[in-house]
């Protein structure tokens, strides 16, 4: 996968969805990234495909968390305040993975999303700085608080 890989964008919320097979995930605030991990070495690109070199912390955590010879993940580098809003000293950063696009040299874009998520859960060792985003099927009203 040498061509730039761009993140998938969410389906417009006005689209009528009539299948129970759709999965819904939160729209995480933060910086959208594609992470290519090869033998613990991480290359990050942004939503336009441009290299990201100012997040060595994200690369370091992902290099330790991916349990595969190579993998390409789509996710968000996000921060959550653990104390009062605005107290940046208590900010905790994490890469929240939403999709697995490649595994051990094999592209997965033709694999159903549910299967890619199952693989993602087995490849990413979750910890304080690396997480798999939750995703749910319909009905989502209770989950969204509407």
* Residues 15-69: tens digit of each pLDDT: 676 666 677 777 788 999 999 999 999 999 998 999 999 999 999 999 999 999 9
Does the domain spanning 31-136 belong to CATH 3.30.470.30?
Answer: yes
Chain centroid to CA 107: 16
pLDDT band at 142, cuts 50/70/90? Answer: low
* Cα distance between residue 81 and residue 90, in whole Å: 6
Give residue 49's region: left, alpha or beta (phi > 0; psi -120 to 50): left
Give residue 86's region: left, alpha or beta (phi > 0; psi -120 to 50): left
Give the pLDDT confidence score for residue 81 in this predicted structure: 46
Cβ atoms of residues 100 and 119 within 8 Å: yes
Give the pLDDT confidence score for residue 1 in this predicted structure: 47
pLDDT band at 143, cuts 50/70/90? Answer: low
* Cα distance between residue 73 and residue 75, in whole Å: 6
Share of the chain above pLDDT 70, in %: 72
Parse the chain into domains and list their residue ranges. Answer: 31-136
pLDDT above 70 for 84: no
Give the pLDDT confidence score for residue 43 in this predicted structure: 97
Give the pLDDT confidence score for residue 83 in this predicted structure: 43
pLDDT above 90 for 72: yes
Q: What is the mean pLDDT of the chain?
A: 83
44: nearest Cα among 118, 52, 128: 52
pLDDT above 70 for 139: no
Give the pLDDT confidence score for residue 102 in this predicted structure: 96
């Amino acid at each position: 996968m040498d061509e730039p890989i761009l993140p998938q964008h969410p389906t417009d919320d006005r689209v009528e969805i009539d299948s129970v097979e759709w999965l819904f995930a939160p729209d995480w605030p933060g910086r959208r990234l594609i992470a290519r991990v090869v033998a613990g070495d991480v290359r990050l690109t942004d939503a336009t495909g441009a290299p990201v070199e100012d997040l060595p912390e994200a690369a370091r955590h992902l290099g330790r968390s991916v349990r595969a010879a190579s993998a390409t993940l789509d996710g968000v580098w996000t921060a959550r305040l653990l104390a009062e809003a605005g107290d940046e000293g208590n900010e905790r950063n994490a890469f929240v993975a939403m999709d697995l696009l490649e595994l051990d040299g094999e592209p997965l874009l033709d694999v159903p999303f549910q299967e890619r998520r199952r693989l993602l859960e087995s490849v990413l060792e979750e910890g304080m700085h690396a997480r798999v985003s939750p995703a749910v099927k319909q009905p989502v009203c209770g989950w969204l608080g509407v």
